[in-house]
Structure 1
C-alpha cells in the first residue's frame, strides 16, 4: 500500500490479524453476540450472532458497553454455523490475535461447539507480540489512536481495528 497524505506511516508496518468478540456478559453462562476481525491489509469482517435457544444469559452492564440490543441479535444475527464457516474461510491457517484472549477463547469455543465445527485458525494473546516497553505504553497509545479516529461505534470490527492500529503505532515508535 503506497503511503498517501491521509495514510499515517504507522499503518504501513506489518500488522497482525486481530479478532474481537462482543458477548452477552462475562462469566460461565455468557456467549458471543458479535465477532469481528481485521486482516493485515485492513479488510474487516463483522457479524452479529443469532443466540442459540439455550443461550439466555444477558448482562445489562455488558449491554451498556456494546449497545447491541438482544432483539437485534434475533432479528439480524447470523446462524452460528454460518459465522463459524465464514471465520474459517477468511482466517484459515492464520494466527489471529486478541487482547481479551481468555474471554475471547472461551466465546470462540462456544461458537464453534454450537456449530459443531473446529476453527481453522489459531487464537493467541496479542500481549505476546509486545515488548515490555510496548506493553507499558499500550493503554496510553490506544487512547491516542482512539482519540485520533474520533467517535467509533463500539463494535467488534472497530475494536479489532483500534487494537491493530495501536500495535502498529507502538511498533513504528520502536523503529
Structure 2
C-alpha cells in the first residue's frame, strides 16, 4: 500500500526580505484540504503588488478575515502532529513557516520536507505534463494554498502510479 504524501503550500506577501505568510493550506493523505488566511502582525509591512496579482488576496482581506499566527499554528500542530509534510518550495516555505511560528512563539509539531526527496527521476520526467493535466482537470479558478497543495499531491500520485506501471 502506497503512502500518499501530505502536501502543504504557503502564499506570501511577496518574495525576499520582509515577506511573510498570508495563507497556508495542505492536502491530507485522502485529499481532504485545510486552509487559513493569516492576519499580518503589526510589523509585517512588506507587500508586493506583483505577488498580489497572482494570489488575489488583498491586505484588507487578511486584516478582516485572517486568523492570528497563534491560532493558525495551533491548528497546524493539531492536524499535522508527528507527520512529515512536503512542499515544492521548501526554501521559501520554510522561511515563511518559521516567521509564522516565531510570531506565535511556537514550534512546529511536524517536519517540513522538500517534495523532491520523494520524486524519482522517472516521476520528474513526467511531472510538468502531469501537473498541467491535473490543473486542467480540476479547473480551479482560485490560486489558493490548499488548491496548490492538492494539485501537487495529485501530480505526485499520478506520476508515482505511471512510473510503477513502467517497471
**Range of TM-score over shorter length:** over 0.9
* Paired positions, count: 164
Question: What is residue 7 of structure 1 aligned with on the other side?
Answer: none
Query: How far, CA to CA, are the matches of 1:102 and 1:124 in structure 2?
Result: 10
Matched, 1:93 2:97: no
Query: How far, CA to CA, are the matches of 1:41 and 1:146 in structure 2?
Result: 18
2:52 maps to which of 63, 68, 75: 63
TM-score after normalising by structure 1:
0.91
Matched, 1:132 2:117: no
TM-superposed deviation, 1:153: 1.1
| Cα RMSD after superposing both structures | 1.1
Question: What is residue 18 of structure 2 aligned with on the other side?
Answer: 29
Query: How far, CA to CA, are the matches of 1:73 and 1:114 in structure 2?
Result: 16
In structure 2, the gaps of 5 or more residues are none
Question: What is residue 145 of structure 1 aligned with on the other side?
Answer: 134
Deviations 1:91-126 (A, max 9, x none): 000000000010000000000000000000000000
1:1-175 alignment runs, 5 A limit: 14-175=3-164
TM-superposed deviation, 1:14: 3.4
TM-superposed deviation, 1:43: 1.6
Query: How far, CA to CA, are the matches of 2:63 and 2:50 in structure 1?
Result: 20
Instruction: State the SS of the aligned residue for 1:54.
Output: coil
Query: How far, CA to CA, are the matches of 1:139 and 1:113 in structure 2?
Result: 34
TM-superposed deviation, 1:138: 1.2
Runs of 4+ in 1 over 2 A off after TM superposition: none
In structure 1, the gaps of 5 or more residues are 1-11
